[in-house]
């Protein structure tokens, strides 16, 4: 039997993305409290994120939203990682308020922000182990958040994944 890499690539990328999800899940969490949510997006749902980025560009005029919208077309799948908002009760002041109780509604707990960052790093580390192409995109994560792809989560980030002869997320051009 002969297996051509081109014939199995997509399945391999999906398996790697699933490994990235496990790495994000098992990443260390502040106070050991798991508030991270992770999902795999592919097919038409990637197109939904891309369309939302175009809408976001129309709202604020940031051209990088258009660039990232076009860039997602090169992704075989996208891993999205976000956090449920939950003050950790440490009264650490890292959020800018003296106590968790004095922190206003909608202001993220700094520990939550660190947790999602560590989860992103763990996922990207696993991607690097397999040498797939990735890029962390706050823009596509914000679009996924607006589309409620991780219900109840904020601070959502997206990591498009590709396996091609050149990283499509490196030399990026801004679309017109």
What pLDDT band is residue 11 in, cutting at 50, 70 and 90? very high
Ordered by start, the domain boundaries in the chain are 5-162
Q: What is d(CA 163, CA 127) in angstroms, rounded to the nearest whole number?
A: 10
* pLDDT tens digit sequence for 53-105: 999 999 999 999 999 999 999 999 999 999 998 888 899 999 899 998 888 88
CATH superfamily of 5-162: NADH Oxidase (3.40.109.10)
pLDDT at site 174 = 67
* DSSP letter (8 states) at residue 150: S
pLDDT of residue 112: 92
pTM of the model: 0.92
Mean pLDDT of the chain: 93
Distances (CA, A) of 27 to 17, 20, 34, 99, 115: 15, 11, 10, 26, 8
């Amino acid at each position: 039997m002969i297996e051509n890499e081109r014939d199995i690539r997509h399945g391999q990328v999906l398996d790697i993305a699933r490994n990235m999800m496990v790495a994000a899940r098992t990443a260390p969490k502040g106070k050991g409290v798991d508030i991270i949510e992770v999902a795999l997006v592919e097919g038409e749902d990637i197109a939904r994120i891309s369309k939302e980025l175009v809408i976001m560009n129309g709202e604020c005029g940031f051209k990088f939203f258009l660039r990232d919208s076009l860039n997602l077309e090169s992704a075989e799948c996208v891993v999205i990682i976000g956090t449920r908002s939950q003050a950790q009760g440490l009264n650490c002041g890292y959020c800018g308020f003296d106590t968790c109780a004095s922190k206003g509604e909608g202001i993220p707990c700094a520990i939550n922000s660190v947790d999602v960052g560590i989860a992103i790093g763990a996922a990207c580390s696993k991607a690097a182990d397999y040498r797939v192409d990735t890029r962390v995109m706050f823009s596509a994560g914000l679009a996924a958040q607006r589309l409620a792809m991780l219900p109840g989560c904020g601070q959502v980030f997206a990591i498009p994944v590709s396996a091609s002869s050149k990283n499509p997320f490196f030399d990026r051009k801004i679309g017109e």
